[in-house]
Amino acid sequence: MIGCYDPGPRVKKLPALLFAIVAAGASAAEASTLQLRHGDRICLVGNTFAERFQLFGYSESGLLAAFPDLELSVRNLAWSADETALRPRPLDFGAVDRHLEAQGADVVLLFYGANESFAGDEGLPAFRNDLGRLLRHVSKQLYNGSEPARIALVSPIPQQTLPSGHGLDEAAVERRNVELRAYAEAAEAVATENGVPFLDIFDGVAAAFAGEPAPLTVNGVHLNEAGYWHASRVLLEALGASSPGTVVASAEDGAGLEIRPPVLPPGPNGKPDRIRITVRDLVPGYYALRRGDQTLASASDADWAQGVDIQATPAISALVEAGDALRRVVLHKSRLFFDRYRAVNGYYIYGGRKEPFGVHSFPPEMARFDALVGELDDEARDLARSDEVWRLERVDR
Amino acid sequence: MNRVPLLALLAVAIAAGPAVAQNVADEEPNLGGEPRYEARDPAYALEHLHPAEGYEVSLFASEQDFPIGNPVALAFDSRGRLWVATMPSYPQRLPDEEPDDKIVILEDRDGDGRADHHTVFARGLHVPTGFELGDGGVYVAQQPNLMFIEDTDGDDVADRYEVILHGFGTEDSHHSISAFTWGPGGALYFQEGVFHHSQVETPYGPVRLVDAGVFRYKPRRFHLEVFVSYPFANPWGHVFDRWGQNFIADASGGSNYFGAAITGNAPYPTKRRRMKVFTSIVRPTSGCEIVSSRHFPDEAQGNFLINNTIGFQGIKQHRVIEEDSGFTSEEVEPLLYSTDINFRPVDLQFGPDGSLYVVDWFNPLIGHMQYSLRDERRDHDHGRIWRVRHGSRPLLEPPEIAAASTPALVRLLESYEDRTRYRVRRELRERPRDEVLAAVEAWLDDVDARELDTGDDANVSDLEHHRLEALWLYQNLNVVEPALLGRMLDSPEPRARAAATRVARFWRRELDDPLAILAARTEDSFPRTRLEALLGLSYLESEPAALAALRTLDQQSDYYLDYVLGETVDTLEDFWLPALESDREPPLLDALAPPLATYLLSRLSTRKLERLPTHPLTDRAVLRRADAGVERQRQALTSLTSGERGGRSVRETPAMLLAGELAELDQAESADPERFDRIALHLMEQDAPSLLAARDEFEALAGNGARQGTRSAAIAALIVATGDPSPANVLPRRRTDDRLIDWLRAVDSLPPALRGDAYPAVSSLFDERRGRDPSVLDAAVRTLAGITRDAGRSFRRLADLVSDPDIGLATLEGLGQLTAEVPDAWPAGGGEDALIEPVLAALRDAPPRELTSPRYRRIHDLGLRIADRRIDRSGGERGADLREEIVNLGAAIVTLRPVPHQMLFDLEEFTVRAGGPVEITFENIDVMPHNVVVTRPGALEEVGRAADAEAERNPAGAEASGYVPKTPLVLFRTGLVQPGETEVMSFNAPREPGLYPFVCTFPGHWILMKGTMRVVERLDGAAITRYAAPRLAPDVPQRAFVADWKYEMLETDVAPLEAAPPASDEELERGRRLFLEAGCATCHQLGGAGGEVGPALDDVRERLGALDTLRHILEPSDEVAEDYLTTLVETLDGRFYSGLLVESNDEAVRIRSNPLDPNHVETIPREEIESLDESSLSPMPSGLLSTLQPSEVQDLIRYVLHAP
């Protein structure tokens, strides 16, 4: 038997509950929409843009908070400088497929195109070809052992000129952005051809660059913490989650509507101080939102349909505190998973020098990492579900 | 202790070190001693530290007072404080322990030479294998990343941790990015070791490196590039000298390199060829430094210091000597050594006070292979910083850096100490840029003014150094200053010109015309400047750059210039070869000076050269390659002598051209004899009139040629020209012996008819010259034997001469030759009887060693033919007896070849006479290297295993010894014979009859590639003495070498197969054929066919994807199937066993040593065992795909994955 690196336990899954989240304002029937289901294991593959999400935890904690009932979990399998057709790995580390399988991926988010784009126009045909092949391959795999992976392709993001004058100058960045956009467009075309949802965050991130005076990247290409805060919001929106601090509900009958506001992971620039509740389709009338005895806000059905900001301190603080705890657990989990997935001394764990000692030392250590990561998944899922239960009640004016 | 391989390595260190070091080696845990723990006290360690005479050593800091357990690297900040990185989490974190490696600031506030204060700057780090201060923070290795850590609120505690580069290799934590150092131009250099796959994104595109090299990072440009791609093991040292030359120390091999020469452009995934080292070798090393401190004695200045950590534990010292374009060195007394086995110096640097600070990792166990990474005896708590001073000189006043004004700081760049200038540059990078620029300008003006003042030649070098510092400072600030660069490129100080040329390389993207600048430097009078120019040109990736590189040929060359020119021209082959292949006008070769064009052509393989379109120089080059095809040479000859070129009609005939070639070869420094043969061959194909037209030339060559080959070829041409072979026609009247021999040799090369015409003249020589110098008659015999027209006539003439005492042997040889070529040369009525006694006498009297010579081989063959004729005709026993007698008088002549792609010899057995001479000619017609080793009876496996073991323990040493283990079990051996090469090995067979195995000991080959030399007391009469398997076409087609495939080169081809649909029948059939042709089926079962040496592959598709399969084929030793892992046992008396471990208990180890015979189990008692290791070497050979095209690799892998 040729020894192989054991990338970890296959996740044993219950039959997935069909629990489609309908993106606000989007049609549920659209074929190229990513469907998230209960218990989904979401895996990220691709380049450093994807890899760096784990350093900040905004997208993962935001996703968990946005869909607390789905009990999602995330694994970041991205690898610096990966391209659709070039993904060198340490000896016997195993190809991306093997790790997606080990993680039992139900959903795979793919991040490709940024590194490929340096090949310019000349490289576009090869990129289209390689990407198409990759998308067709990944969407056919039964990583979770039972059904084909649901996948989505995420666009590259633009490059930024730094105010410090370091790095590429404005003209060079502009040229790069032309290339990046060309690759983003090619990626979208290939995704559409293959019926794969395409999450276009290029413009969203460009808008964030334009809107923030401080740089959002560390070097023009890789986002910093604030950059990931913005990018995560753009990505979550593309995934059908509403903006943090926004709850959208609808009620045919407004009487006694129960609202569970989401936990609010704080961003890099301070804590959110409000939450916007939007309730559509209320029977005309006047409604109050209550937290126990406390009334958080009162407004007409028309106002609720527009969205009402809640600023009551104790309520928001509780949500922020829980969100912060969630993000800290997510960050801890990410670090543990990274130290296991991309362990140092891989040559002694699974590679050419695993004999004679590594085979004894490391399998138990890796199993322990897996167990700890699993525990933190559970903890994160618990923290993602807020304890707050608010009620919307019809009141007299 | 008797650990032969390791002690052999240690001998170098011990010989140069003090005698007392021997004891350390004996106790060394990493060499088999028991880890010793009593010596944990710094005072004990200090007692055991021995500085060289005049020096003093003291403790600066230890784990007893500061949290510096497992310190690994150091740096000094602008305030003179010592920063240390620690990594108690090494080799790596545990799941339940948060790693807490640190960066600690140590201060000596009271100035007593010992640290008295510390601050933990950063914590929570994980295995920070290297770090450096700069840009207001700390760059630190955090595998797989590079992190930048900052203290933004001024409390000396880091509060911002930012990953700035992702994706360096993590395969082996001690190979990961380390040896951080700023270059003089403000780039951060760090390096990594073998196994690692790094790929890092940058704003300029991804940067990739595989299997070791040096990175160069410009932080403010976020620009990362591969500075060196070289097959290092783990390079742990890097230092720049006063003039910006860098030296790189590779730890495992103890190889210290003159850095510049390996820094040329090497696009991923190529690597530089191996290069010589510039110091003697000690190993393993960690960290190097150059002495540049006025506190140290004058004679030490400029010395290269290197830490050594096992065997000799201390600091080695080499005097650096400039030599040609590079450096050499001379080892001098070690600066320091310890007799405490736990002393592990891993980094060193001169401090602001001019003393040397040494980081002591202090650990009994440091090996990563000898002990488990999780061995509990690894120390995680201790660590020291030692300080080395010289007793006779005061310490230096530490320079004011942090508090200095910018102008004062710029002026500090005039300091003597390298490290002061290093730290000043780093500080200046953090000062406001405009302020620094203004200060530099003022300083430059001042330097100019001083030069005018003094007009003193003596300090020109210093002033030029100041200007060079200014140039480097601009580089630090990313300000391109073409004017100052231009001035330094023309500096009167040659070392400044070399340094400036390197700056031009790094500014190549910003300079208007980098090609012009670098091209001009190829004519510099200083060889190192030319070297730097070549290195710069290698990055310009264009045809003009390659052509400019060639211009260094106009000057004197040396080892490093040769190396770098070759690497540069080869790296740029893609840019200049198309120009040679194109039909543009004028052809590139016409545009170049002939020596340059000739060099370019000389870099091409004969195959590529032969494919080039016809051009006089190409044709000339083809004509001059003895290994070029004869037909292609004929074409060359034709095109060189026909048609028009450049409007001039070509009048030269082939005959005249060949005459010219002959004249040139005659004057060449060395002349390959095969080239004379080729010229003669082509001459003989010319018609008489054209040869006659060149008669004057040939007569001149025949008369005045310096070499015999020249004269004979010319004489042969004259004979063909005139149709008259007689000496009178072609020789001067006065015929010296030499002239006659020239003529005889000429006759040898004539066409058969003309040779026949020469018979009377040759024959008459025997009468004319009898009794004179026998050399003429000797040659005449050979010529006569070659006259095969009317061979009976030649036979008779030779037979008459057999009894001549001077030429008897020669005539027997001639008869042997003649009867081999013309079997019916024998006289009708017998005639052989008279030859029996002379033949027997000749063989009996022959010196044994000469029995394998061509002469005696022919005589021996003649004897056998005589015996066979006798048997044929009389059938009697006399013939058989004669045959037996002759058989036993001769030598065994064996021709051995590998069966291509099958890992077999083409001969399984041959028989030789005990004590008799044996000659084995090994023709390697395979595509991988092999050797032939004859062992003692029964020792085949042991020798094979020992070869594998040595290859694993000491790859470089094993390679150097041709993979032949140093054991008395080896009796006779060839060197390592490369594909296409042939080696002849002669020896006398052992006196003891028996079965002596012969085997190829290239790692992994011995299991299959072997045979038996049967040694018998006496051969029987029917025995043969010539062994050569018929050179039949192999079962499978011969395949030509395509490429030495690496995984990355084929990955994109194979990746699509991961998702490919089931293979078509046609694809499967192609794959099945390749499975045979690539040799897979020799060892592996698949689809019900194949050998059983390796694991069956039927279930591969269950476990491996296409890429994994590719990896396993290309890198077989990187992961060996469990059932095929071998255990190596070396016994106290030096025997090796290896095989699958069957059982291991307190009494004995049981090993199944022959994979082909599972019942054969060796039992080795524990008390006899010297060492026991697991081998990670696969018996599977590498290079199996080297004859396949990428599409064929796809077919093969498809077959492995989908075979029915």
The SS3 assignment for B971 reads strand
Tell me how far apart the alpha carbons of residues A258 and B172 are, in angstroms, rounded to a whole number.
Answer: 55
Domain(s) of CATH 3.40.50.1110: residues in chain A: 41-241
Cβ distance A140 to B1059 less than 8 Å, yes or no, reads yes
In whole angstroms, how far apart are CA B296 and each of B286, B387, B1151? 22, 13, 58
Q: Which residues of B touch A80 (CB under 8 A)?
A: 144, 166-167, 199-201
Inter-chain touch B126–A52, beta carbons under 8 Å: no
pLDDT of residue B848: 82
**What are the tens digits of pLDDT across the range B751-783?**
999 999 999 999 998 888 877 778 899 899 999
Q: Are residues B305 and B383 in the same domain?
A: yes
Per-residue model confidence (pLDDT) at position B1190: 79
Q: Which two tokens stand for residue B691?
A: 């040869």
Residues in A touching B1179 (Cβ below 8 Å): none
Q: Residue B6: pLDDT band by 50, 70, 90 thresholds?
A: very low
pLDDT at B584: 84
At A107 the pLDDT is: 97
User: Residues 144..203 of B with a Cβ closer than 8 Å to A: which?
Assistant: 144, 162-164, 166-167, 169-173, 176, 195-197, 199-203
Instruction: Indicate whether B26 belongs to any domain.
Output: yes
Could A136 and B1118 be called an inter-chain contact, meaning their C-beta atoms sit closer than 8 Å? no
Residue predicted with more confidence, B851 or B1191? B851
Nearest by CB: A346 against B171, B371, B374:
B171
B1153 has a pLDDT exceeding 70: no
pLDDT value at residue A268: 86
Residue of A nearest to B211 (CA): A90
Asked whether the predicted pLDDT for residue B117 surpasses 70, the reply is yes
> Quick one: pLDDT at residue A14?
37
What pLDDT is recorded for position A75? 98
Same domain, B338 and B298: yes
- Report the greatest alpha carbon distance in chain B: 114
Same domain, B947 and B1087: no
Smallest Cβ distance to B93: which of A47, A95, A339?
A339
Across A77-81, B115-119, B887-891, least confident range = B887-891
Q: Answer whether residue B308 shows pLDDT above 60.
A: yes
Mean pLDDT across the stretch B672-689? 93
Asked whether residue B1018 falls in the same domain as residue B1090, the answer is: no
Is a pLDDT exceeding 90 seen at residue B1082? Answer: no
% of chain B at pLDDT higher than 70: 89
Residues near A392 by Cβ (< 8 Å), separated by ≥ 6?
A: A249, A251, A254, A256, A257, A258, A259, A279, A287, A288, A289, A290, A304
Nearest CA in chain A to B269: A88
Of B166, B373, B1105, the CB nearest to A97: B1105
pLDDT at residue number B648? 56
CB within 8 Å: B163 and A52: yes
- Helix, strand or coil, per DSSP, at residue B674: helix
Nearest chain A alpha carbon to B1100:
A2
B930 secondary structure, DSSP code: B
Task: Express each pLDDT in B313-331 by its tens digit.
Answer: 999 999 999 999 999 999 9
Token pair of B829 as six digits: 């009525």
* Residue-level pLDDT at B30: 65
- Tell me what pLDDT residue A371 has: 97
Same domain, B813 and B795: yes
Is the predicted pLDDT of residue B224 greater than 90, yes or no? yes
Instruction: Determine the pLDDT at residue B456.
Output: 62
For residues A378 and A376, give the distance between their C-alpha atoms in angstroms, rounded to a whole number: 5
| Structural domain boundaries enclosing B1117 | 1047-1125+1176-1202
Pairing between β-strand A107-111 and β-strand A150-154 as defined by DSSP bridges = parallel
Domain final residue pick, B877, B911, B940: B877
**Residue A188 CB: number of other CB atoms within 10 A?**
18
Query: Are A2 and B1095 an interchain contact pair (Cβ–Cβ within 8 Å)?
Result: yes
Is a pLDDT exceeding 50 seen at residue B2? no
Chain A hits for B374, Cβ within 8 Å: 357, 361
Residue B777 to residue B757: CA distance in whole angstroms: 19
Residues of chain B positioned with their CB less than 8 A from the CB of A220? 203, 222
**Is residue B358, in this structure, part of any structural domain at all?**
yes
A-chain residues near B1112 (CB < 8 A): 2
Looking at residue B1040, its pLDDT comes to 61
Cβ within 8 Å, pair A345-B171: yes
Q: Which chain A residues have a beta carbon less than 8 Å from that of B1059? A: 133, 136-137, 140
Q: What percent of chain A has pLDDT over 90?
A: 64
Q: Calculate the average pLDDT of chain A.
A: 88
Query: Contacts of residue A167 in chain B, CB cutoff 8 Å?
Result: 203, 220-222
Is B414 near chain A, with CB under 8 Å? no
What are the φ/ψ torsions at residue B584 (nearest 5 degrees)? -70, 160
Using a CB-CB cut-off of 8 Å, the residues of chain A touching B169 are 90
**What is the least distance, in Å, from the CA of B120 to any CA of chain A?**
23
CA distance B136 to chain A (A): 15
Q: How far is B690 from chain A (nearest CA, A)?
A: 56
Look at residue B55 and give its three-state secondary structure.
strand
Mutation target to probe the A interface, by most A beta carbons within 10 A, among B94, B143, B166 is B166
> Buried b vs exposed e over B1092-1112: b needs ≥16 C-beta within 10 Å?
ebbbebeebeeebbbbbbbbb
The reported pLDDT for the residue numbered B1174 is 63
Which tens digit of pLDDT belongs to each residue from B967-982? Answer: 889 999 999 998 778 9
pLDDT given at position A351:
85
User: Is B1122 in the A-facing interface, judged by CB distances under 8 Å?
Assistant: yes
pLDDT in tens, B64-98: 999 999 999 999 999 999 999 999 999 999 999 99
B1067, B1113: one domain: yes
Judging contacts by C-beta atoms under 8 Å, the chain A residues touching residue B141 are none
Which positions in chain A touch B126 (Cβ < 8 Å)? 339, 344
> What is the pLDDT confidence band of residue B1139, given thresholds at 50, 70 and 90?
low
Q: Which of B143, B221, B1055 sits opposite A166 (nearest CB)?
A: B221
**B1192 and B1058 inside one domain:** yes
Instruction: Tell me what ipTM this predicted complex has.
Output: 0.92
How many domains, in total, are found in chain B?
A: 5
User: Token pair for residue B483?
Assistant: 């004017």
Say if B129 falls within a structural domain. Answer: no
Read off the pLDDT of residues A16-53 as tens digits, 9 standing for 90 and up: 333 333 333 333 334 458 999 999 999 999 999 999 99
Q: What is the mean pLDDT of residues B1099-1120?
A: 74
pLDDT of residue B1036: 47
CB B254 within 8 A of CB B237: no
Mutate to test the interface with A, among B371, B375, B1119 (most CBs of A within 10 A): B1119
Length of chain B: 1204
- Judged by average pLDDT, the poorest of A273-282, A383-392, B64-73, B739-748 is A273-282
Query: How buried is residue A6: exposed, middle or buried, by Cβ count under 10 Å (0-12/13-18/19+)?
Result: middle
Same domain? B965 vs B846: no
The yes/no answer on whether domain A41-241 falls in CATH 1.10.3720.10 is: no
Mean pLDDT of B398-414: 98
Q: Which of residues 1085-1114 of B touch A (CB under 8 A)?
A: 1095, 1103-1105, 1107-1108, 1111-1112
C-alpha A370/C-alpha A12 separation (Å) is 13
Over chain B, what is the mean pLDDT? 88
DSSP lists the bridge partners of residue B149 as B138, B161
B window 259-298, beta carbon within 8 A of A: none
Q: Which two tokens stand for residue B1144?
A: 């291991």
In a domain, B108, yes or no: no
> Using CB atoms, which residue from B94, B206, B1056 is nearest to A115?
B206
> What pLDDT, on the 0 to 100 scale, is given for residue B1157?
55
Task: Using pLDDT thresholds of 50, 70 and 90, give the confidence band for residue B455.
Answer: low
Confidence of residue B1192 (pLDDT cuts 50, 70, 90): confident
Together in a domain, B1012 and B1055 = no
**Higher per-residue pLDDT: B1083 or B294:** B294
pLDDT score for B962:
86
In chain B, the residue whose alpha carbon lies closest to the alpha carbon of A2 is B1121
Cβ contacts below 8 Å, chain A against chain B, sum to 192
The pLDDT, as a whole number, for residue B9 is 31
Asked if residues B1003 and B963 have their Cβ atoms less than 8 Å apart, the reply is: yes
DSSP code, position A267: B
pLDDT band, residue B643 (cuts 50/70/90):
low
Helix (H, G, I), strand (E, B) or coil at B919: strand
Distance in Å, alpha carbon of B127 to nearest chain A alpha carbon:
9
pLDDT(A12) > 50: no
B537-558: string of b/e by CB count within 10 Å (b at 16+)? bbbbeebebbbbbbbbbeeebe
The shortest C-alpha distance from B1090 to chain A (Å) reads: 18
Is the confidence at residue B408, as pLDDT, over 80? yes
Question: In degrees rounded to 5, what are phi and psi of residue B136?
Answer: 80, 10
- With beta carbons under 8 A apart, name residues in chain B contacting A342: 144, 170
B517 and B427 in a single domain? The answer is: yes
Residue B1124 is predicted with a pLDDT of: 59
Chain B 1139-1198, residues with CB within 8 Å of chain A CB atoms: 1173-1174, 1176
Smallest CA–CA distance, residue B1079 to chain A, in Å, is 20
CA B884 to chain CA centroid, Å, is: 49
Closest CA to B248 of B334, B322, B306, B324: B306
Question: Quick check: is B1102 in a domain?
Answer: yes
Q: What does the pLDDT look like over A146-204, one tens digit per residue?
A: 999 999 999 999 999 998 889 999 999 999 999 999 999 999 999 999 999 999 999 99
pLDDT at B169: 95
- Arithmetic mean of pLDDT, B1115-1137: 64
| B870 and B897 co-located in one domain | no
Q: Kindly determine whether residue A357 and residue B373, on different chains, have CB atoms separated by under 8 Å.
A: yes
Predicted confidence (pLDDT) at residue B697 exceeds the cutoff of 70: yes
Instruction: Please answer yes or no on whether B197 and A88 come within 8 Å at the CB atom.
Output: yes
In angstroms, what separates the C-alpha of B411 from chain A's closest C-alpha?
Answer: 27
pLDDT at residue number A241: 84
Q: How confident is the model at residue B1154 (pLDDT cuts 50, 70, 90)?
A: low
Mean of pLDDT values over A10-21: 37
Q: Which of B435-439, B561-565, B1130-1134 has the lowest mean pLDDT?
A: B1130-1134
Assess if residue B140 is contained within a domain: no
Instruction: Indicate whether B541 belongs to any domain.
Output: yes
Percent of chain B with pLDDT strictly greater than 90: 61
Q: Determine the pLDDT at residue A363.
A: 95
Q: Which residues pair with B225 in a beta bridge?
A: B216
Q: How far is A142 from chain B (nearest CA, A)?
A: 12
B147 interaction partners in chain A (CB closer than 8 Å):
none
Stretch A97-121: mean pLDDT: 97
Q: For residues B1056 and B1196, state if they share a domain.
A: yes
pLDDT score of A26 = 35
Quick: pLDDT tens for B524-552. 999 999 999 999 999 999 999 999 999 99
| Residue B823 DSSP class | G
Residue B1028: the pLDDT is 86
Q: How confident is the model at residue B1194 (pLDDT cuts 50, 70, 90)?
A: confident
